[in-house]
Amino acid sequence: MSDKTIGFIGLGLIGGSIAKALRRVHPEYRLIAYNRSRSSLVEAMSDGTINQATDVIDASFAECDFIFLCMPVSVNIQCLKKLKDLVPDTCVITDVGSVKSTIHEAVRELGMEARFIGGHPMAGSEKTGYTSATDRLLENAYYIITPTALSNPDKVAEMRQLVTDTGAVPIVLNCEEHDYATAAISHLPHVIAYTLVNLVRTSDSREGLMRQLAAGGFKDITRIASSSPDMWESICLENQGQLLKVIDAYKASLEDISEAIRENRGDKLHCFFEEAKDYRDSMPMKMKGSIEPAYEIYVDLIDESGAIATIATILASNRISIKNIGILHNREFQEGVLRIEFYEQDAVEKATALLSKYSYIIHTR
């Protein structure tokens, strides 16, 4: 592929991660970024990710082949108007926002359909900012692309290639399909996590007994309540229609389960839990598109100082790269295990063989 100039408007977790991934694969590309706060730009210049930084959205972006809008959804929408007169028709504008219908509507109203291709990486975390960005964040995750009726097929093909270059897996959807699916699998779960945490917060005793006792299950399902309030305010309002539909359906299912509990209907409860368990267990855990880490092992930890360092050293000295490492306590591993996440399946197999040789007990899921 020929050299390209790629612009980023917003260089936080997602903008920064895409920029870092493209830099790794394409050292020849020219990357330009605008960010509201200067610190991310300084960091991205000094680590070599971007070639040019700007405090204002100006004519520097006119040279871009692609511009990624990576701010909260409503801010991305506001930015379109500015770019309309600033950049030529040949530049493709794309976004990474979690809601697609409202930005597509704005694109239509502004007559920008021929130069816009929507996008949404199905990867991320509760963290924010460039400091949390990594060149591997999108690896193996689906990246939804939503072309317009007037998107140029050659540009869509280039967009698919850029997505593939980040390590993600492109998939094309229309924006309504996208917004209904993400309302159920992402937006409602975030609303549930935030409301559950607030329920416990307001029910807790003065001494904070609930906060102290909250264990693995609560923490697992509420991790995402640590996400950015700015970002989630924007997502909920931009996907209002679809989100309200799934919230209503969820309220109805809470009513069903309340009734079964009230009426001592063990059979109903059992069936409800069993159906949910079967569906959850059938979800691909080690496949492309999973937001959950794909390549991981669990190692029983010997209770002595330096235990983690010893394992990390064994792996590093055998050139096995670790993506993430940490101690996990939950119902499945009550004693606590060391969870090690790798970049690929090959590393899982090598690490399992190697650590078994050193008599470590390994679990996989």
Ligand X SMILES: O=C(O)C(=O)Cc1ccc(O)cc1
- Shortest distance (Å) from residue 124 CB to ligand X: 4
The reply on whether position 133 binds ligand X by CB under 6 A is: no
Residue nearest to ligand X (CB): 98
Q: Is 36 in the site for ligand NAI (CB under 6 A)?
A: yes
Residue 224 interacting entry, from ligand X, ligand NAI, none, C-beta within 5 to 8 Å by type: ligand X
Q: Which of 17, 74, 94, 186 binds ligand X (CB under 6 A)?
A: 186
Question: How does strand 116-121 pair with strand 142-147?
Answer: antiparallel
Q: What is residue 93's three-state secondary structure?
A: strand
CA distance 214 to 198: 13
Contact positions with ligand NAI (CB under 6 A) in 45-104 = 70-73, 75, 96-98
**Tokens coding 212:** 């102290």
Q: How many residues bind ligand X (CB under 6 A)?
A: 8
221 scored as a contact of ligand X (CB under 6 A): no
Task: Note whether 126 binds ligand X by CB under 6 A.
Answer: yes
Q: Are 129 and 13 in contact (CB under 8 A)?
A: yes
The least distance separating ligand X from the CB of residue 221, rounded to whole angstroms, comes to 11
Q: Between residues 36 and 288, which has the closer beta carbon with respect to ligand NAI?
A: 36
Nearer to ligand NAI, 66 or 298 (CB): 66
Q: Across the strands, what pairs with 296?
A: 341
Phi, psi of 286, deg, nearest 5: -120, 30
Indicate which of ligand NAI, ligand X, none lies near residue 186 (CB less than 5 to 8 Å, by partner kind). ligand X
Q: Based on CB atoms, which residue is closest to ligand X, 5 or 140? A: 140
Q: Using the Cα atoms of residue 74, residue 75, residue 76 and residue 81 in order, give the sign of their dihedral.
A: positive
Q: Are strands 169-172 and 142-147 parallel, antiparallel or unpaired?
A: parallel
Radius of gyration of the CA atoms of the chain, in A = 23
Burial class (CB in 10 A: 0-12, 13-18, 19+), 102: buried
Count each helix (H run) and each strand (E run) in the chain, helices first.
14, 12
CB of 166 to ligand X, least distance (A): 14
- Strands across the sheet containing 66-69: 52-54, 30-34, 5-9, 66-69, 92-95, 116-121, 142-147, 169-172
Which one of ligand NAI, ligand X, none is in contact with 128 (Cβ closer than 5 to 8 A by kind)?
ligand NAI
Residue 13 binds ligand NAI, judged by CB under 6 A: yes
Q: What are phi and psi of 298, to 5 degrees?
A: -125, 130
Does position 140 bind ligand X by CB under 6 A?
no
184 touching ligand X, by CB under 6 A: no
| Beta carbon of residue 27, minimum distance to ligand X (angstroms, whole number) | 28
Residues that bind ligand X (CB under 6 A): 98, 122, 124-126, 186, 224, 291
What is the contact surface with ligand NAI in residues (CB under 6 A)?
10-15, 35-37, 40, 70-73, 75, 96-98, 120-121, 124-125, 128-129, 228, 231, 235
